[in-house]
Structure 1
């Protein structure tokens, strides 16, 4: 009897061992300060890059090079996510739902069609939602930490307005490819020479017909490496100063570089160019009341609060300015009765912009959810402005801010990366 039991148990153990052998538990691949990067995250990102490459008919470097780039991307993401947690930055489900609805609308899809599109591309809808949430959180972290590093002088604005005028009302745009051969922290002269030699080798390979996107994915330390170095379309006045000076008057398909900066040596490719005609700008003068949900004020109660305000306003029982001064969580406008002044609607977040564009003069909106909270808006005036000095100055300020924000973001990311504890664990063969 004992022999039978032992044999029975051995059979169970053997059966369990055989069944479980192919199953791999997820493992930690990188330690990033107080967080980790899992092997599954690396594999998922590499798989996503490969899917995109197939769709875009793009060749890719070796799996080893892809893995290295994926790890670096995930390290940066982890550092920003950890910082968001320490700062208490969160994106609620209603905010996320509104953002995804805007994405679907922008692509002329229903939510059901968007879900179907996501799953057909090999990603679960739940994972897609969390990726969008992460992008929103990272965006808030960057804005909070980088915005205060950006300073624009009146002289810079005046110089850019003059430059735009000299361009005859046209603003050149360039579709750029970018490869960065980065320096290590505190580079020696030898490090700089090595990086320069690598950059020159990259130029040589590209001149001999190598594919830019493939080399960028394999070798670049730039933020767009996994996209083949594609920086998209950039206004000549909003791209980094170093790039703007280098690409000025360059033709399509030209290679530029190596260009040295504090980060390393840059190689650029002008994928395409185009000019934009100056157009009339429709500006709006509006006011709003902002209510921010919190631990003690739920999302639903914040929305209901604004609904009650709207009823009182429509019934003539309250004044918009008084409610804004007493309740709005936007300190800049609250003191002015909620007034935001004249502005191009495109300067606002999408939900706010789109609502303003649908309102009639003096109309009060229903409560609208954005990443900042719940808004009640009123359109006061609308005008069409044909490139007045103020519009040009505002546009120059916006372009300068975008340029400097991008430059400072790159510098900030390098700083937090350099100051972090990173331990890339050796991958064991299964």
Structure 2
């Protein structure tokens, strides 16, 4: 009787299956899916890693940790939101190059007063992997760019909103000067008699006269003031005018640094203020140059040398009396200024590339520069004038614009995050 080959192999197959079962029984799962997010998943290892980082951060602040299951849910939700944004970034083609990532790591290390190697060592001492930290920085850079595209670019702040903010009490307070102050308080108890009030006023006036004659404010505050900060020389720190009670709010702006106010009666007594320093709100004077230029760019049909020679010929023609504006309209390859005869109008030199800025600085008003090269090509420029401009109002408008944009960004970001979370398919498995 013949034996089938399959019968001979069956014990071997059975043995292999049994062996496979034994091996499988000894395997322990080292990772698992804790959430499905659209087309991606979040693994337990990712959650555990982030959980450790959050726990360490909370511990360093000296705060108490919430129960682990509560913290895990919060951390997982953060990972879900991040994952949704990363998928948006991937679909949008956002990529972070190694060079950009290296620069970001170096910047983080420098902000912490470290080299990159010291930063790696600090991470290791905290039980964190440098590779994991690097990946987290990459993720954050992608998320930042996604937010710039989806949130920041659709925020609009009108000129009227800026002007309304500047005119509001809040705007004036946020953008106004700050004053570093010290005070001396001569107290007047509640319900004091007229004679007591008069005595306190005479004492305050006597101190004021001493101060005007050069007496040391801090020493008088320590020895005579009843204020809470008397032992610190009366110093109360930085204040905005809007934070001061009348009439100090109107007096302090005109007070020179180092000077003192006359005694002023307040509910607590007579107060003398000294202006120690001030910051913000100062006049900003910016140097501007009125300049025009002709730009010529090398191309596939015109070499670098040919472009230089053309720039020299144009320079010679202008020197011979040809009209600069007409030549700019005919030859200049700067689309932003060519139709205006090459005129860049009044411009801040800091807005220009170093090569252009340097030649412009060396060219007297009313004079033409020799042809020179910048990253954009070959230029011939003429300086038409120079002036100093008070840009304080523009600076305050820019500050107001930044405040309003940041406020709108925070509101828009939260709404957008809720929207993408609601629209995503999310299944948690904790």
- Name the TM-score, length of structure 1 as normaliser: 0.50
Number of aligned residue pairs: 271
Matched with 1:88 is: 93
Query: How far did 1:170 drift?
Result: 4.1
Tell whether the 8 Å contact from 2:162 to 2:400 is kept in structure 1 after alignment. Answer: yes
List per-residue Cα deviations over 1:143-187 (Å, max 9, x = no partner). 100124312121210122224335672479xxxxxxxxxxxxxxx
Aligned partner of 1:417 in structure 2 is: 421
Deviation at 1:141, TM superposition (A): 0.3
- Cα distance in 2 for residues equivalent to 1:42 and 1:414: 21
Tell me, in whole angstroms, the C-alpha distance in 2 between the residues paired with 1:284 and 1:79: 47
Pick closer, same or farther for the CA change 1:387–1:285 going to 2, 3 Å: closer
1:1-23 CA-to-partner distances (Å, cap 9, x unmatched) read: xxxx99x98997798568x45x4
SS of alignment partner, residue 362 of structure 1 = helix
1:168 and 1:36, CA in 2 relative to 1: closer, same or farther beyond 3 A? Answer: closer
**Among candidates 21, 44, 51, match of residue 46 of structure 1:** 51
SS in 2 for 1:61: coil
Q: Distance in 2 between matches of 1:392 and 1:24?
A: 60
The corresponding residue for 2:393 is: 389
Partner of 2:280: 278
State the match for 1:184 in structure 2: none
Cα distance in 2 for residues equivalent to 1:44 and 1:406: 28
Deviation at 1:104, TM superposition (A): 2.0
Q: In the alignment, is residue 165 of structure 1 matched against residue 167 of structure 2?
A: no
- In 2: Cα distance, 1:15 partner to 1:284 partner: 82
- Residue 406 (structure 2) pairs with residue 402 (structure 1): yes
**1:28-70 CA deviation, whole Å, 9 max, x = no partner?**
1111111111111111111111111121111111111101101
Contact 2:47 2:75 in 1 (8 A): yes
Task: Please tell me whether the aligned partners of residues 279 and 386 of structure 1 are also in contact (alpha carbons under 8 angstroms).
Answer: no
Q: Where in structure 1 do 4 or more consecutive aligned residues deviate above 4 Å?
A: 8-18, 279-286, 315-319, 331-337, 339-345, 358-361, 375-378, 382-387
Greater C-alpha Rg: 2
Counterparts of 2:125 and 2:33 in 1: how far apart (Å)? 29
Written as runs of structure 1 = structure 2, the 5 A alignment for 1:375-386 is none
Counterpart-to-counterpart distance in 1, 2:55 and 2:35: 22
- Call closer, same or farther: CA 1:57–1:39 in 2, change over 3 Å: same
- The 1:401/1:13 distance shift into structure 2, 3 A limit, reads same
In structure 2, C-alpha distance between the alignment counterparts of 1:333 and 1:41, rounded to whole Å: 54
Query: Relative to structure 1, is the Cα distance of residues 30 and 394 closer, same or farther in structure 2, using a 3 angstrom cutoff?
Result: same
Seen in structure 2, the aligned counterparts of structure 1 residues 398 and 37 have a Cα distance that, compared at 3 Å, is same
Which residue of structure 1 aligns with residue 84 of structure 2? 79
Normalised by the length of structure 2, the TM-score is 0.50
1:362 is the counterpart of 2:358: yes
SS of 2:157's partner is coil
Distance, in Å, in 2 between the alignment partners of 1:100 and 1:61 is 31
Q: Quickly say closer, same or farther: Cα 1:424–1:167, change in 2 above 3 A.
A: closer
1:108 equivalent to 2:108? Answer no
How far apart, in 2, do the equivalents of 1:51 and 1:420 lie? 30
In the aligned structure 1, how far is the partner of 2:62 from the partner of 2:68? Answer: 17
Partner of 2:74: 69
**Alpha-carbon displacement from aligned partner over 1:87-130 (angstroms, at most 9, x marks no partner):** 00111111111121222222222111111122222211111111
- Give the superposition deviation at 1:399: 1.2
Contact 1:28–1:38 (8 Å) recurs in 2: yes
Task: Tell me: CA distance 1:57–1:384, structure 2 relative to 1, closer, same or farther (3 Å).
Answer: farther
The aligned runs of 1:342-361 (5 Å cut-off) are: 342=348, 361=357
1:132 alignment counterpart = 137
User: Cα offset for 1:25?
Assistant: 2.9
Aligned to 2:298: none
Instruction: Could you tell me which runs of 5 or more consecutive residues in structure 2 were left unpaired when the two chains were aligned.
Output: 1-11, 180-241, 244-277, 290-303, 312-327, 361-373, 378-382
Using the TM superposition, give the Cα deviation of residue 383 of structure 1 relative to its aligned residue in structure 2, in angstroms. Answer: 11
Q: How does 1:12-411 map to 2 (within 5 A)?
A: 16=23, 20-21=26-27, 23-163=28-168, 164-165=171-172, 169-170=176-177, 277-278=279-280, 342=348, 361-362=357-358, 388-411=392-415
Distance 2:81 2:349 in 1: 35
Give ranges in structure 1 of 5+ residues lacking alignment. 173-247, 250-275, 287-311, 346-351, 365-374
Give the 3 Å change call, closer, same or farther, for CA 363–344 of structure 1 in structure 2: closer
